């Protein structure tokens, strides 16, 4: 079965190389991977003790970073490595302050690349987040004595582990992973059916992260002046459907302020066509005065979204109307803001929980969402109730980071 797995990795590499001809993101990811070995070779020596966290993308990074920060506090002499699979995670983190000695793309999971990459340092602790499993890497790290932890582990019935051919994959994680810290009781129950007994429920570390976000300085230049006492709806990580909702809102509620932070900055020109009178954040940042009565502000830079939610009266979070799935709703909910989104959120159990508590609401299409958004903005009592419930939902969650650290350090 390992031979079949290795063949599938080779086919994936080939497909990505072909796709890179047409996709800038794939091209960027491939170019980044070619540099990974050089990056770790420059940052570490083969005898350096390293704590390594791997995340598929930015969302998983946000789940893992609270644990990584605490591990660094406990083991200050260890060096820190962070790897990503996707450009969206790497690009967001490499330009920010972070605790890592090296940040790079994870090389492809072939035996040769795993050996070459890991020979540059000694891994004491390896943390992977949610459901990112690379089987050659896990087997190699386990053979070298590394402790391997999965935090915010999330098992669901459509995973390969539950397929008729999934027994090899289950056996690999059973023998190589030290401990699974599950995000939900459902995930824990599914893991137990696979006899993954090295499991416990810890909760979602993103709640710890967004609680930290709420307590920091969330001031964003120009936004207070842009809002100017009006209601503000923030469209975070927007795709096409959320932007159509914003267009309807702008038409029906000309006094309501709108901020749009697209999921991809390449959408900026499209948004300028949709909203010809919109202001770009980069223009304000460069010294251009804020036009009188401006209704729409387009965020054409990264790193501001979680702060922008602190100004919002309502948040519309993107991805839920798209096959890619829902983006982070907790960054909005932590500020006691009602959260609206599309119905594709099966990998986001927190969305179900938020709706049960009436702090958020999902919709099948843009018409439903637009109608509810208009009603919500006109009903101050409902607006306040939903916001309070969203904030309480985050505030009442257990300290998952503490639970995880206690087990790792036991």
- Catalytic (active site) residue 60: yes
Q: Quick one: which of 118, 128, 65 has its CA closest to 96? A: 65
Q: Which of 60, 62, 243, 253 is catalytic?
A: 60
CA 4 – CA 7 distance, rounded (Å): 5
Query: How many whole angstroms separate alpha carbon 36 and alpha carbon 117?
Result: 8
* Residue 291 DSSP code: P
Widest pairwise Cα distance in the chain: 65
Gap between the Cα atoms of 126 and 146, Å rounded: 7
Per-state percent for the chain, helix, strand, coil, to nearest 5 = 50, 15, 35
Sheet holding 314-317, edge to edge: 279-280, 296-298, 257-262, 232-238, 314-317, 339-342, 360-363
Q: Can you spell out the DSSP letters for 47-107?
A: T-EEEEEEESSHHHHHHHHHHHHHHHHH-TTSEEEEEESSHHHHHHHHTS--S-SEEEEPP
CA quadruple 100, 103, 108, 111: dihedral, nearest 10:
-40
CB 242 within 8 A of CB 324: no
Environment class of 79 (CB within 10 Å of its CB; exposed 0-12, middle 13-18, buried 19+): buried
CA neighbor of 234 nearest in space, from 209, 253, 202, 262: 262
- State CA 250 to chain mean position distance: 29
Q: Using CA atoms, how far apart are residues 145 and 233, in angstroms rounded to an integer? A: 50
Residue 149, Ramachandran bin (φ over 0: left; ψ between -120 and 50: alpha; else beta): beta
C-alpha distances (whole Å) from 122 to each of 47, 51, 103, 154 are 6, 9, 16, 28
- Give the active site residues: 60
């Amino acid at each position: 079965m390992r031979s079949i797995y290795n063949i599938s990795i080779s086919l994936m590499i080939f497909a990505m190389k072909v796709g890179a001809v047409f996709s800038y993101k794939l091209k960027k990811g491939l170019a980044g991977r070619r540099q990974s070995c050089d990056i770790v070779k420059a940052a570490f020596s083969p005898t350096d003790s390293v704590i390594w966290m791997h995340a598929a993308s930015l969302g998983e990074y946000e789940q893992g970073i609270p644990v990584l920060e605490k591990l660094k506090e406990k083991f200050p002499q260890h060096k820190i490595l962070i790897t990503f699979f996707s450009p969206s995670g790497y690009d967001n983190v490499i330009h920010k302050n972070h605790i890592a000695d090296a940040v790079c793309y994870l090389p492809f999971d072939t035996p040769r690349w795993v050996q070459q990459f890991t020979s540059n340092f000694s891994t004491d602790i390896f943390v992977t987040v949610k459901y990112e499993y690379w089987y050659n890497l896990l087997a190699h790290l386990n053979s070298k004595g590394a402790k391997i932890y999965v935090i915010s582990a999330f098992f669901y019935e459509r995973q390969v582990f539950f397929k008729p051919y999934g027994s090899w994959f289950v056996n690999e994680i059973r023998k190589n992973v030290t401990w699974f810290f599950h995000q939900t009781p459902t995930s824990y129950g599914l893991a137990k059916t696979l006899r993954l007994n090295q499991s416990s429920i810890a909760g979602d570390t993103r709640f710890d992260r967004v609680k930290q976000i709420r307590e920091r300085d969330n001031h964003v230049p120009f936004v207070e002046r842009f809002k100017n006492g009006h209601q503000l709806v923030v469209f975070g990580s927007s795709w096409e459907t959320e932007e159509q909702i914003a267009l309807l809102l702008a038409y029906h509620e000309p006094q309501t302020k709108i901020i749009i932070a697209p999921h991809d900055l390449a959408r900026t020109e499209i948004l300028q066509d949709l909203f010809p009178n919109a202001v770009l954040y980069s223009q304000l940042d460069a010294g251009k005065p804020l036009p009188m009565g401006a209704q729409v502000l387009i965020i054409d830079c990264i790193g501001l979204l979680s702060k922008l939610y602190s100004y919002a009266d309502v948040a519309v979070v993107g991805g839920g109307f798209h096959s890619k799935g829902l983006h982070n709703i907790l960054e909005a909910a932590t500020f006691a803001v009602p959260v609206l989104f599309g119905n594709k959120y099966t990998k986001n159990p927190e969305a179900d929980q938020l709706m049960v508590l009436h702090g958020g609401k999902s919709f099948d299409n843009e018409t439903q969402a637009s109608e509810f958004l208009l009603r919500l903005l006109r009903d101050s009592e409902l607006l306040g109730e939903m916001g309070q419930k969203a904030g309480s939902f985050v505030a009442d969650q257990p300290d998952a980071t503490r639970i995880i650290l206690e087990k790792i350090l036991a």
